[in-house]
Structure 1
Amino acid sequence: MTTSETQSAESAAIEDHAALGDGRTVALIDRSGTVDWLPVPSLDSPPVFAALLDLDRGGRMVLRPVADFTTRRHYLPGTNVLETTFTTANGAVRVTDALVTGVAGRLPWLEFARRIEGVSGTVVMDWSVEPGSMLGTSSPWAEHVDGSRILRIGTVNIGVTGLADAEEDADAPRFGGRIRVVEGSRRTLTVVATDDEPLHLPQPHNVDIGIDRTVGNWELWSRTFSYDGPWADAVQRSALALKLLLYAPTGAIAAAATTSLPETPRGGKNWDYRFAWVRDTAYTLRSLARFGLREETHAAVSWLLRAVKGDPGGLRILYGLREASSAEPQAHDVPGWRGIGPVVTGNRAADQLQLGVYGDLLSVALAYASAGNVLDVPTRRLVSDVADHVCDVWRQPDSGMWELTELRHHTSSKMGCWQALQAAQQLAALGQADGNPERWRREADLIHDWVEEHCWSERLGAYTMVAGEDELDASVLLHAPSGFDRGERMRSTIEALRRELGRGSLLYRFTGAEAEGERPFVACSFWLASALACIGDIPAAAELMDDLVARANDVGLYAEMMDEDGTFWGNFPQALSHLGLIDAALTIADLRR
């Protein structure tokens, strides 16, 4: 990639970003070294740097050569620390970017560090730190306090340290300047931030040590990760991406790091994914448990069970990352990524009825118990209450997995209810659930028979999206791994889905999604690979995986959707996409054995 000092007239492509995290928030950096997304202090906070959604007033951190340059970048092996090499006609500079972590985990403040090393020749670099309007809610200002450079916006305090020469721009509160980087030199630019509390300003020497410590922390985490099967590098990178989305203070797992990145050029389908979906949490926990990652598994299970205990009938499909999180939708008067709005915070789907979520919840409890753990007494009762509730409600229409507004009898929702009752029976057999497993078995059989009768189309040769209709839905592929069907009907459904929803190796979510302007949904393609393996077609599953793994961006990340040409759409990085990759790789590896 070649770039000049001239600021692009439009936001960077979604696929041009890498992600950094510290267990509390996530920063996105484009190929030019610009940080254009960073909420402070938490992932679901208003973004202090948000040029990704508001090019003019959103705020950014810049570090790049003045002259034309090319870039090469990669994560340091086994880490979420990014190394970028900028090469100009006069020399090369290496920048190492990290959200710094402490000796015992995340720091009590945000510390974003940029180590700048001269590789060859001499390169003049532009740098700046310019907070934005937090989606139009606040106005930043700059000040000097006892010789320190301080930026403030709302209750957020930002300190800029490490580079001696800086200019303040009164018209756009920011600090910035130019530095001359020569071969063998090493300097560090540090941005620290707190919210509604005093601000710690670290010494440059300690920051430099902190970058190395952060690398070591990530490497230590990766050494506990156990997987040596096919696509190992992609699986590990996906696990590292999921680790970025795990909100350490509570154990909640965010669906993505952003809000309002559009699913279609037409706009309108712009959602906030900085919430924890029960579905995504369930898939993540199954993967974490199989990798032997005990702390994350326990934290996420505990968070989920705390969220839902006491009211199994009121189980929500998503929850905030923090107790103070609000899902109440709010629109913001900013243009959006490349002018495609709206920009929103909150998520209107929070109170939808989705029956499949019960299968997700009880599969979490089963995965945890099957890994050798013991459920507490209230959780045992919760399992029983949820199973009994499913026996009563599975006949109801719902919004389905895709959060549609019309209530219908969605096939994958019924299959999810079957999955919930199967999990409850297995938990009872393990001695980790109370209740009436015989009732659960009878109702599970009724659900299975009902789906076979009402949700199968002889004309299409496929399980349909909803009972009695001829639309197709890729989410039924999830129920090859769940065990609902691994026979001829699932094989025929796969063929039908590839005919109607397939575009090369990619799949749309459901009938009509393409007509609505959507792009293929990344996770669906990985679900297809898993389903192919489950029906015994391992060679086709492996061939599809090879293609899909190659479609990640240059640092191994995926968004929610992508075009056949590799253009990313939707929020990023997307947990469900990376979960699909992990599950497919594990499923194929297991069935090969």
Structure 2
Amino acid sequence: MGTTSGSPARATDPMPSAGDVRLGGYAPLRGYAVIGDGRTAALVARDGSVDWLGLPDLDSPAVFGAVLDAARGGRFTLAPSLPYRTERRYLPGTNVLETTFVTGRGTVRVIDALTLHDDATLTPMRELLRRIDGLSGSVPLHWSVEPRFAYGTAPTRLARRAGFPVATAGRDALAVCAWDAGEPACHNRAISGRFEIGQGRRALIAMPFAHQEPLVLPARSDCEGRLDATCAAWRSWAHDHPYTGRWHQAVMRSLLALKLLVYAPSGAVAAAVTTSLPEEIGGERNWDYRFSWVRDSAFTLAVFLRLGCPAEAHAYFWWLMHASQLTHPELKVLYRLDGGHRAPEKTLPWDGYRGSGPVRVGNAAVGQVQLDTYGELMQTAWQYALATGHLDADVARRLAEVADLVCTAWQQPDAGIWEVRSPPRHFTHSKMMCWVALDRAADLAEHGLIPNRHLERWHAARDEITEFIESGCFSPDRDSYVRAAGAEDLDAAVLLGHLYGYGGNEHRMHATISTLDRRLRHGPYVDRYSGEDGLAGGEGAFLACSFWLAESLGRTGRLPQAIELMDELVGLANDVGLYSEEIAPATGDFLGNLPQGLSHLALISAACAITAANKDTAR
């Protein structure tokens, strides 16, 4: 928190806002920023504590996990030793974080980055840099690195190499290199230091990490150079992908956040940086999101193509093709970032965020049947083919075989997009996405991009799906497509049927949008669905649903309502423009894993669609 324990603040001292104060050692989820290097990512709280970092990769065991267990998770703290308030931003066009601490004795600025490396040089495998600049007065600071390898299960050994403290566990090692930041001391499985910095002075703390390879101890000048190069690289990347429109800043920050979810070695895009952040404080809805979901694929490719990211689009598409080949023709719900399809779920002996256990690693949803994934896969391939004009012959053959599978698989009940852990049902959204799968396959075949030997069968099955949906999944009483065949509860996921062009009854789809707007929306918040899902407790409002509704309103000519809703949603981001999975409507608190890729994908998609519709109307 923003005051030093045992030292009462003077009336003239800056005080933290209520949103900065930790409860039981836990920072508000809304207060986290993210930094990353394309291989892993860290969460940094407003009080300067790095509370989450998986090493060596984003989906690796956490070395810092205090966000999930304040006592045992480990962290890297850095803050003034007297009361302060904070101001934060990302350096423009970058994923480099700037935090300014204002105290009664002066002001300091901290720059945090996971540095980008030139692979042609011998550098640490991963490197967290924290640069401290004195802006005014003279400010005392303290810092502490408390690594907890392998989710805290591996014993940490502390020693010194070439004068620098080094923490090791097995074949993992990290060093703490401090320049003008006090003499590091080792005690109680922590490396810590104290120093005072005055106006015009600069300190630097580097934390290089190595996994199964020699740990390289850097020189200060090399660290400074890498930090400057990292800022320049981010700015160059952002400059190459401009977006002009009403929500420019929100779109560009979302794109930069998504770039941090791209696992550079494979091209996969993770759903989030974290695991097990709760959808309800004290609830059981805590899942591991450090995987790549097929359900996000069409949005992901569309965003990359719309905003001029062909390299990311190409890498992601081929990662998806290689990953799905392992289970062809069936699809898994999610795949590991390296393309693997096994994600056994286990529970860690951690308390969970604010006591919200269990803390899970792995995700049992990988074993579920979710039929909508076939529509997402085919929509993704269709978009890629339209953009490039061709498909690899082997990929084309496999896509045709997937369409053949959908012709019979669509008749099964499934777990649906929301991955309910209750008996499978005939979810409307799943059937709509099976329709999309066959429609896109037919279009690809008609353009000679995939084999067309079963085209008539695809057309016939698509028509059967239409009949099933129109006869059993629309409620005249609700004036809406419902959540599942024969049900009366509602589901915001059917909005995706509209966004992906499900070719049923257009009047019914427009009525559904109006019904969902009226019955599931509360201010800017949209519930995922009504009805039960087999899990205890509740949850917050799922942000992607709100953006889907805004986009649907814009696409159906209700531009004033769409723009008004988008403006409200953009205002719900935290102070550095990030979104979690959900928000608690009563408090505005973030819930669920963060930063949530689907929230940012849905924001960009809605912003682009509404901007385009507005331009068309103005012509």
TM-score by length of 2: 0.92
Aligned amino acid, residue 491 of structure 2: D
Matched residue SS, 2:499: coil
CA distance in 1, matches of 2:298, 2:154: 37
Shift in CA distance, 493/365, structure 1 to aligned 2, threshold 3 Å: same
Give the Å deviation of 1:282: 2.5
Shift in CA distance, 396/324, structure 1 to aligned 2, threshold 3 Å: closer
CA distance in 2, matches of 1:105, 1:437: 50
Match of 2:438 in 1: 421
Match of 1:535 in 2: 556
CA distance in 2, matches of 1:195, 1:550: 41
Matched residue SS, 1:55: coil
CA distance in 1, matches of 2:259, 2:105: 39
281-290 vs 459-468, greater mean Cα deviation: 281-290
Match of 1:471 in 2: 489
Aligned amino acid, residue 28 of structure 2: A
Indicate which of 176, 192, 197 corresponds to 2:213: 197
CA distance in 2, matches of 1:348, 1:188: 42
Aligned amino acid, residue 612 of structure 2: D
CA distance in 1, matches of 2:29, 2:237: 27
Give the Å deviation of 1:230: 2.4
Match of 2:447 in 1: 430
Residue correspondence of structure 1 range 210-225 to structure 2 within 5 A = 210-225=226-241
Unaligned 5+ segments in structure 2 are: 6-20
Match of 2:542 in 1: 521
Matched residue SS, 2:388: coil
Give the Å deviation of 1:54: 1.1
Match of 1:509 in 2: 528
Give the Å deviation of 1:563: 1.4
CA distance in 2, matches of 1:215, 1:36: 23
CA distance in 2, matches of 1:559, 1:148: 37
Aligned amino acid, residue 604 of structure 2: I
2:85 paired with 1:70: yes
RMSD: 1.8
CA distance in 1, matches of 2:48, 2:290: 24
Indicate which of 183, 202, 225 corresponds to 2:199: 183
Summarize deviations over 1:61-83 as a string: whole Å, max 9, x none.
11110010011010011110011
Give the Å deviation of 1:313: 3.5
Matched residue SS, 2:136: strand
Matched residue SS, 2:329: helix
Shift in CA distance, 451/259, structure 1 to aligned 2, threshold 3 Å: same
422-431 vs 472-481, greater mean Cα deviation: 422-431
Residue correspondence of structure 1 range 162-561 to structure 2 within 5 A = 162-163=178-179, 165-170=182-187, 172-309=188-325, 311-322=327-338, 326-405=342-421, 406-435=423-452, 436-484=454-502, 487-512=506-531, 516-561=537-582
Match of 1:5 in 2: 4
545-554 vs 427-436, greater mean Cα deviation: 427-436
Give the Å deviation of 1:310: 6.1
CA distance in 1, matches of 2:390, 2:240: 22
Match of 1:161 in 2: 177
Give the Å deviation of 1:304: 0.4
Match of 2:133 in 1: 117
Give the Å deviation of 1:513: 6.5
Give the Å deviation of 1:51: 0.6
Shift in CA distance, 508/452, structure 1 to aligned 2, threshold 3 Å: same
Give the Å deviation of 1:187: 1.8
Aligned amino acid, residue 454 of structure 1: G
Shift in CA distance, 356/250, structure 1 to aligned 2, threshold 3 Å: same
Give the Å deviation of 1:217: 0.6
TM-score by length of 1: 0.96
510-519 vs 297-306, greater mean Cα deviation: 510-519
Matched residue SS, 1:4: coil
State the percentage of identical aligned residues.
Answer: 44
Give the Å deviation of 1:188: 1.1
2:158 paired with 1:137: no
Preserved contact between residue 309 and residue 379 of structure 1 (Cα < 8 Å): no
Give the Å deviation of 1:162: 2.6
Give the Å deviation of 1:105: 9.8
Aligned amino acid, residue 119 of structure 1: L
Preserved contact between residue 61 and residue 149 of structure 2 (Cα < 8 Å): no
Unaligned 5+ segments in structure 1 are: none
Summarize deviations over 1:330-377 as a string: whole Å, max 9, x none.
111110111110001000000111111001001111111111252111
Shift in CA distance, 325/60, structure 1 to aligned 2, threshold 3 Å: farther
CA distance in 2, matches of 1:247, 1:531: 31
Shift in CA distance, 196/153, structure 1 to aligned 2, threshold 3 Å: same
Matched residue SS, 1:313: coil
Preserved contact between residue 329 and residue 398 of structure 2 (Cα < 8 Å): no
CA distance in 2, matches of 1:5, 1:489: 60
CA distance in 2, matches of 1:499, 1:513: 20
Matched residue SS, 1:179: strand
Preserved contact between residue 25 and residue 41 of structure 1 (Cα < 8 Å): yes
Matched residue SS, 2:109: strand
Aligned amino acid, residue 602 of structure 2: G
Preserved contact between residue 474 and residue 510 of structure 1 (Cα < 8 Å): yes
Matched residue SS, 2:203: strand
Q: How many residues align?
A: 591
Preserved contact between residue 495 and residue 549 of structure 2 (Cα < 8 Å): yes
Preserved contact between residue 136 and residue 332 of structure 1 (Cα < 8 Å): no
CA distance in 2, matches of 1:284, 1:100: 25
Matched residue SS, 2:52: strand
Match of 2:69 in 1: 54
Match of 2:14 in 1: none
